[in-house]
Amino acid sequence: MTELTLYHCPKTRGFHALWMLEEIGEPFEVRIVNIRDDIQSEAYGAVNPMRKVPALDVGGELITESPAICAWLADRYPEKGLAPAIDATGRGSYLRWLFFTGSVIEPSFIDKAMSRETPRQMAGWGDLASVKATLADALDGRDFLVGDKFTAADLMIGSTLNFMMNFNLLERVEPFAGYVGQLVERPAYKRAMAREAAFAG
């Protein structure tokens, strides 16, 4: 029996965790949850009371929130080299960027999608212009956010920026386009995409 079971719906944020599992390369199972109906079932409410995908079942313990799933996997399998060690230079930057997706990038783009502006002093994420400028500065002339190695932070940020570009919420311009362009060439990304295609039948 595999230790890892991913609750996932194709073409959703569940992809972050699917890609991460492919990067890890350990056996895992996928349970498809239809976000139109299955997600409202009592059974799924016990998996994630927020009724969102993804969720990762790790031998009975349930982890939700994509960055938490990615962080847990990177730390559980340190030999895969997807996170700086806890005492290594770069660990702080890695955590900063890992948290940046859920707490800063996502809400700022949702503001844009909803054509609204949250006053920046009230918004923990500041404003979209600052978010884009901060990311552009961090990515300018670099392949990865932390040092010269791909980490789970690149996966979360790259996957999120890719979503934003696909939904026309982020312009396909440098440095974002080049950064995402090289990440989607990774074999694990392609394996995750092949699974998505198979799920879609």
Ligand X SMILES: N[C@@H](CCC(=O)N[C@@H](CS)C(=O)NCC(=O)O)C(=O)O
Would you tell me which residues interact with ligand X (CB under 6 A)? 12-13, 35, 39, 51-54, 65-66, 102
CA dihedral 71, 74, 75, 76 (to 10 degrees): 120
- Shortest Å distance, C-beta 197 to ligand X: 18
- Shortest Å distance, C-beta 27 to ligand X: 22
- Shortest Å distance, C-beta 79 to ligand X: 25
- Shortest Å distance, C-beta 21 to ligand X: 14
- Shortest Å distance, C-beta 106 to ligand X: 7
Tell me, letter by letter, the H, E, C secondary structure of the chain: CCCEEEEECCCCCHHHHHHHHHHHCCCEEEEECCCCCHHHCHHHHHHCCCCCCCEEEECCEEEECHHHHHHHHHHHCHHHCCCCCCCCCCHHHHHHHHHHHHHHHHHHHHHHHCCCCCCCCCCCCCCHHHHHHHHHHHHCCCCCCCCCCCCHHHHHHHHHHHHHHHCCCCCCCCCHHHHHHHHCCCHHHHHHHHHHHHHHC
Of 38 and 127, which CB lies nearer to ligand X in the complex structure? 38
- The two structure tokens encoding residue 188: 């694990």
Measured between alpha carbons, how far is 82 from 37 in angstroms, rounded to an integer? 34
- Shortest Å distance, C-beta 50 to ligand X: 7
Of 83 and 156, which CB lies nearer to ligand X in the complex structure? 156
Of 39 and 143, which CB lies nearer to ligand X in the complex structure? 39
Q: Alpha carbon 78 to chain centroid distance?
A: 18
Of 17 and 180, which CB lies nearer to ligand X in the complex structure? 17
